[in-house]
């Protein structure tokens, strides 16, 4: 088990299973099909992302460097949260980008869904974490990986 400390973007605690992308997460390309066609597990449909393509992310701890793509990204994350198809938490190795941050904040202020978001966990975090590992977010931006 290893512990990492990051910066809290939106608060909360949770325990869930990791799903990991080492390249940027294209929010619109990944989630549009799942939201459009009623896929509650939110399988990623971005063919340009071999780390995640076809994998469900609803209720999982999404570990990523940053998000990329359309400036609709924030509102797509917000919609996923409102439809309960969002990741249980988002863990960024880098500082969060403006689009993901918008999604996290919109979900926090305008929906009942809790989706804790921690950033600046470092490259070491993203190198260590693997799909299926157990993630626990504790108070103070502490993330345990086992």
Task: Report whether 25 contacts 66 (CB < 8 A).
Answer: yes
Q: Identify the DSSP state of 92.
A: E
List the helix and strand counts (H, then E) for the chain: 4, 10
Residue owning tokens 């989630």 = 31
Q: Does 102 bind other proteins (CB under 8 A)?
A: yes
Q: Does 92 bind other proteins (CB under 8 A)?
A: no
Residue (62 or 79) nearer to other proteins, CB: 79
Q: Does 33 bind other proteins (CB under 8 A)?
A: yes
The C-alpha atoms of residue 99 and residue 72 are separated, in whole angstroms, by 8
Task: Report whether 71 contacts 62 (CB < 8 A).
Answer: no
Q: Does 74 bind other proteins (CB under 8 A)?
A: yes
Q: Does 118 bind other proteins (CB under 8 A)?
A: no
Instruction: Enumerate binding residues for other proteins (CB under 8 A).
Output: 9-10, 28-29, 32-33, 35-36, 47-48, 68-75, 78-79, 82-83, 96-99, 101-103, 105-106, 108-111, 119
């Amino acid at each position: 088990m290893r512990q990492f400390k990051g910066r809290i973007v939106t608060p909360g605690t949770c325990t869930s299973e990791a799903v990991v992308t080492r390249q940027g997460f294209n929010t619109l390309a990944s989630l549009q099909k799942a939201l459009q066609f009623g896929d509650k597990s939110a399988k990623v449909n971005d063919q340009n992302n071999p780390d995640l393509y076809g994998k469900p992310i609803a209720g999982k701890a999404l570990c990523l460097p940053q998000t990329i793509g359309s400036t609709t990204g924030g509102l797509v994350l917000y919609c996923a949260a409102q439809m309960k198809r969002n990741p249980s938490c988002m863990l960024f190795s880098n500082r969060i980008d403006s689009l993901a941050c918008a999604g996290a904040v919109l979900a926090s202020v305008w929906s009942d869904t809790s989706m804790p978001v921690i950033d600046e966990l470092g490259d070491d975090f993203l190198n260590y974490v693997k799909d299926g590992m157990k993630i626990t977010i504790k108070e103070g931006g502490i993330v345990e990986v086992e």
